[in-house]
Amino acid sequence: MSNILILGGDGYLGWPTAMHLSAQGHVITVVDNYFRRDTCQALNVSMLYAVPSLPERAKVWFELTGKQIYVCITDLADPKSMRSLFNGTAEYQGKSVGAKTVPDTIIHYAEQPSAPFSMMNHQSADTTIVNNLRVTNNLMWAVRDLANEAHIIKLGTMGEYGTPDIDIEEGWIEINHKGRKDKFLFPRQGGSIYHTSKIMDTDLLWFGVRMWDLRVTDLMQGPVYGLETDQTLLDGRLGTIYNYDEIFGTIINRFVVQAIVGFPLTIYGQGGQTRGYLNIQDTIQCVDKSLQVPAERGELRIFNQIMETLSAREIAEIVQRVGLERGHKVTISHVENPRKEAEEHYYNPTYQGLIDIGVVPHFLTDGVVHRLFETVENHREAIRTDIIFKGIKWE
């Protein structure tokens, strides 16, 4: 069993990952600074339902399973705070614990995750750059100095690649030029400040791998949907964060809420924007398999973490069909695209690597969408239509 440090452990993906790995018997420490909760409150974009604090969630988990998840609330953009997690000086919430051993694995979710937030104004762009790059840089140096055998699993994004007019390889590309050949990181062209910060993350860690022989797995993840994992179903208090606003809500989760309250499904432009998607269960699977089969020392291993590709139009049609079957009045509205992006484009990413190490995909079937509808319908009275679409513009 491993000693695992999860950065961003309060988040949509971080908390379910923590429970999943704790259930397997790993020693889990989760760290967060409540950026997402605090930002939602500051921007007045409430979540679908209230979520207990991180120490409260860990307490519920312990009561139900007898397994301890250690909790540290701190800002990882501060180098001293990051290093405290590796040198035994961190302060933990809830049950008092002594210094723990150096982590074997660090799962890095601790970033500002929203493209719209990063494009709201200069301040939000600066927040995105400062948080994301400082946290990654602090982590890289802490591992170099204090845990140089540890495996970093970092959550990247397929948005780093943009939508090139060639096939997207898994992180790397071989180039023949003037009779010579070499291997390079696949060209990247992020469509927002957030995506650009993630490109810089990859470059930082690639530097650490080249200079200091760090071991890193970079998971280029597509938009995630869903709520349920084996652990979140144990108790309503263990549910993960669910945003449905334009800033933090992913498209499928947002469309389901819109369908339930009769808000038109807002397709940007023609809706041909195609991306790779995956169920929240597959996010956890991918991290788990990457943990079981770690990168080698001096290796930056990159997986494209998606299970299928769909256009915004296709997603809206699936959600509309299921919504109508459930008795909702679901309409689709094409709105002026607030983003600067191609609305019809070539998109053919490779995503075989995770399958090769044992991930079994879940797909966006009507049955899966029905289950998501069922869960969200239980919270219909809490939905606020005024926060769904604000039209944050790139230009």
- pLDDT tens digits, one per residue of 262-309: 999 999 999 999 999 999 999 999 999 999 999 999 999 999 999 999
For the cut 70, the answer to whether the pLDDT of residue 210 exceeds it is: yes
Buried b (16+ CB within 10 A) or exposed e, 106-143: bbbbbbbbbbbbbbbeeebbebbbebbbbbbbbbbebb
pLDDT (average), residues 156-179: 98
Q: For strands 308-311 and 274-279, give the pairing.
A: antiparallel
- DSSP secondary structure of 11-50: STTHHHHHHHHHHTT-EEEEEE--HHHHHHHHHT---SS-
Task: Name the DSSP letter for residue 310.
Answer: E
User: Catalytic residue numbers?
Assistant: 157, 194, 198
Closest CA to 217 of 296, 144, 145, 160: 296
For the cut 60, the answer to whether the pLDDT of residue 251 exceeds it is: yes
Per-residue pLDDT band for 99 (boundaries 50, 70, 90) equals: very low
Q: Is the pTM of this model over 0.85?
A: yes
Q: How far apart are CA 261 and CA 330, in angstroms?
A: 9
Asked if residues 351 and 170 have their Cβ atoms less than 8 Å apart, the reply is yes
Q: How far apart are CA 220 and CA 214, in angstroms?
A: 19
How confident is the model at residue 96, as a pLDDT? 46
Kindly list the domain boundaries of the chain, sorted by start residue. Answer: 3-387
176, with CB counted inside 10 A (0-12, 13-18, 19+), is exposed
For the cut 90, the answer to whether the pLDDT of residue 98 exceeds it is: no
Q: Six-digit token pair at 241?
A: 């964060």
Rg (Cα) of the chain, in Å, rounded? 20
Task: Name the DSSP letter for residue 349.
Answer: B
Instruction: Decide yes or no: CATH 3.10.105.10 for domain 3-387.
Output: no
DSSP three-state, residue 55: helix
Task: Name the DSSP letter for residue 93.
Answer: B
For residue 381, what are the CA distances in angstroms to 51, 255, 355, 390?
Answer: 16, 17, 40, 21
pLDDT (average), residues 381-389: 96
How confident is the model at residue 390, as a pLDDT? 84
